[in-house]
């Protein structure tokens, strides 16, 4: 009995506590201020934001079960939720993200994604949320810079602001995020160079920055990101040579550098690495295709089109274990196309617009 009674008392206090208190009034007020800056005309997702307890069935809000502090805001404009099925449409919201959100100091995730019409800036004060792990604002019309002191969010694992109108350069402090695993800045208006210390983000496994206006070289520090599996820098203004170390990264599987201004030779390491999805199309690459392919070369995509490659297609290419999609078109290659297993299924489009390639699937030599 000695131990049972105190236990029961604690349970009772917890039960009564949660029933009576719900979410703290200040958090409820912050949520209502956040809602007041947004307009969601079609689904009525905010209709559930009534009553005193914001932890109880407020759409997209969840609280810590013990402290009743708001822990997650999860509002997705593209969702399987019945509310969307009933309305037969995806979400649309206008307005802006109110700085009132920053009063929810226990937030661990903020997902305000795919609402298409939310404008304004990312509130600067968001960097003062010490427990934030996930910041996902994809698919809105947010503009302005990324907060300069974003590096304060040292618990951040996911930063996704893709498909917005974010401008300015990548803040140097971003590289101070030691836990960041997933960085998605695709399809914005970000300019400037990649921070020299980019490689300080040791936990990064996906870095997606395509469709921006990023210039300058690939920082050598990238070679230190041992977990990097997917690097997409396509359709920017990057320049310089493609570093040889890119082909020696432990788990890099996808490397998209297409649509930039890279020049120089293709590092041989790239063709015998773990990279299975390699797109170097539409750069200024020169020299010959390295004659290094072999059984270790496995490509679902190998796109080297629209460069200035010259010389022959090396015979070794037919020793690759697999090449799903090959594109060598629009270069200055010449000579016979090697025959062999990985080539049998390829069509003429893979080889057209070169100087003098010949043989199957083009005209006989």
Ligand X SMILES: *[C@@H]1O[C@H](CO)[C@@H](O)[C@H](O)[C@H]1NC(C)=O
Q: Tell me whether residue 164 or residue 234 sits nearer to ligand X (CB atom).
A: 234
Only one residue has tokens 């449409």, namely 89
Give me the least distance between CB of 202 and ligand X, in Å please: 29
At residue 43, φ and ψ (nearest 5 deg) are -105, -30
Residue 358 binds ligand X, judged by CB under 6 A = no
| CB nearer ligand X, residue 234 or residue 269 | 234
| Least Å from the CB of residue 240 to ligand X | 18
Residue 160 vs 281, nearer CB to ligand X: 281
Closest distance between ligand X and the C-beta of residue 179, in Å?
31
Q: What is the DSSP letter of 55?
A: T
Q: Could you tell me how many residues make up the chain?
A: 365
| Sole binder of ligand X in the list 301, 334, 358, 362 (CB under 6 A) | 301
Residue 279, judged by CB atoms within 10 A of its CB (0-12, 13-18, 19+), counts as: buried
Q: Give the residue with the Cβ less far from ligand X, 195 or 259.
A: 259
CA-based end-to-end distance of the chain: 95
In sequence order, which ranges of 22-163 are alpha helices (DSSP H)?
25-36, 82-87
Q: Return d(Cα 325, Cα 323) in angstroms, integer.
A: 6
CB nearer ligand X, residue 200 or residue 329: 329
CB of residue 242 vs ligand X: minimum separation in angstroms? 15
Q: Does 259 bind ligand X (CB under 6 A)?
A: yes
Residue 333 CB, nearest distance to ligand X (Å)? 18
Q: Contact, 146 vs 166, CB < 8 A? A: yes
Q: Which residue has the tokens 């910041």?
A: 135
Q: How far apart are CA 23 and CA 44, in angstroms?
A: 22
Note whether 221 and 228 are within 8 A (CB). Answer: no
Minimum CB distance to ligand X smaller for 108 or for 276: 276
16 CB-contact burial (10 Å; exposed 0-12 / middle 13-18 / buried 19+): exposed
Number of residues that bind ligand X (CB under 6 A): 10
CB of residue 326 vs ligand X: minimum separation in angstroms?
A: 9
For residues 128 and 132, what is the distance between their CA atoms, to the nearest angstrom? Answer: 9
Interaction residues for ligand X, span 271-290 (CB under 6 A): 279, 281-282
> Distance between CA atoms of 362 and 264, rounded to whole angstroms?
28
- DSSP-derived letter for residue 222 is G
Q: How far is the CB of 305 from ligand X (least distance, A)?
A: 7
Q: Considering the complex, what minimum distance in angstroms separates the CB of residue 252 from ligand X?
A: 17
Q: Is 331 in the site for ligand X (CB under 6 A)?
A: no
Three-state secondary-structure class, residue 264: strand
CB atoms within 10 A of CB 354: 21
The nearer residue to ligand X, 28 or 211, going by C-beta atoms, is 211
Cβ at position 89, least distance to ligand X in Å: 31
Nearer to ligand X, 180 or 317 (CB): 317
Q: Which of 169, 188, 212, 234 binds ligand X (CB under 6 A)?
A: 234
Residue 303 Cβ, how far from ligand X at the closest point, in Å?
4
Positions in 42-61 near ligand X (CB under 6 A):
none
DSSP assignment of 154-176: TT--EEE--SSEE-SBPPGGGGG
71 vs 304 by CB, closer to ligand X: 304
Q: Is 232 in the site for ligand X (CB under 6 A)?
A: no
Options 70, 211, 258, 262; binder of ligand X; rule CB under 6 A = 258
CB 109 within 8 A of CB 85: no
Beta strands in 37-190 (DSSP E): 38-39, 61-63, 70-76, 94-95, 109-113, 134-136, 143-144, 158-160, 165-166, 182-184
The correct pick among 303, 307, 343, 346 for binding ligand X (CB under 6 A) is 303
- Which residues contribute to the site for ligand X (CB under 6 A)? 234-235, 258-259, 279, 281-282, 301, 303, 325
């Amino acid at each position: 009995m000695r131990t049972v009674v105190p236990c029961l008392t604690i349970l009772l206090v917890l039960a009564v506590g949660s029933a009576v208190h719900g979410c703290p009034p200040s958090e409820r007020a912050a949520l209502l201020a956040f809602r007041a800056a947004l307009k969601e005309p079609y689904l009525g997702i905010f209709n559930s934001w009534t009553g005193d307890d914001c932890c109880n069935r407020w759409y997209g809000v969840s609280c810590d079960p013990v402290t009743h502090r708001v822990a997650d805001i999860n509002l997705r404009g593209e969702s399987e939720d019945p509310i969307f099925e009933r309305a037969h449409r995806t979400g649309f919201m206008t307005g802006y993200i109110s700085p009132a959100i920053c009063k929810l100091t226990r937030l661990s995730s903020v997902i305000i994604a795919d609402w298409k019409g939310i404008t304004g800036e990312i509130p600067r004060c968001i960097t003062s949320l010490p427990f934030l792990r996930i910041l996902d604002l994809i698919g809105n019309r947010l503009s302005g810079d990324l907060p300069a002191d974003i590096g304060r969010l040292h618990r951040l694992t996911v930063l996704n602001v893709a498909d917005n109108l974010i401008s300015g350069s990548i803040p140097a402090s971003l590289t101070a995020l030691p836990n960041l695993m997933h960085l998605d800045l695709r399809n914005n208006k970000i300019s400037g160079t990649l921070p020299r210390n980019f490689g300080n983000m040791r936990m990064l496994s996906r870095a997606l920055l395509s469709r921006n206006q990023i210039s300058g070289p690939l920082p050598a520090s990238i070679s230190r990101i041992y977990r990097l599996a997917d690097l997409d820098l396509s359709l920017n203004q990057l320049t310089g040579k493609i570093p040889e170390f890119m082909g020696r990264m432990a788990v890099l599987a996808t490397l998209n550098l297409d649509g930039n201004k890279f020049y120089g030779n293709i590092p041989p390491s790239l063709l015998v690495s773990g990279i299975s999805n390699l797109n170097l199309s539409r750069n200024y690459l020169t020299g010959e295709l390295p004659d290094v392919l072999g059984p270790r070369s496995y490509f679902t995509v190998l796109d080297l089109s629209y460069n200035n490659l010259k010389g022959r297609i090396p015979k070794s290419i037919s020793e690759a274990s697999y090449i799903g999609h090959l594109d060598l078109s629009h270069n200055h290659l010449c000579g016979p196309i090697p025959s062999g297993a990985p080539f049998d299924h390829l069509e003429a489009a893979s080889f057209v617009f070169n100087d003098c390639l010949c043989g199957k699937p083009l005209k006989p030599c």
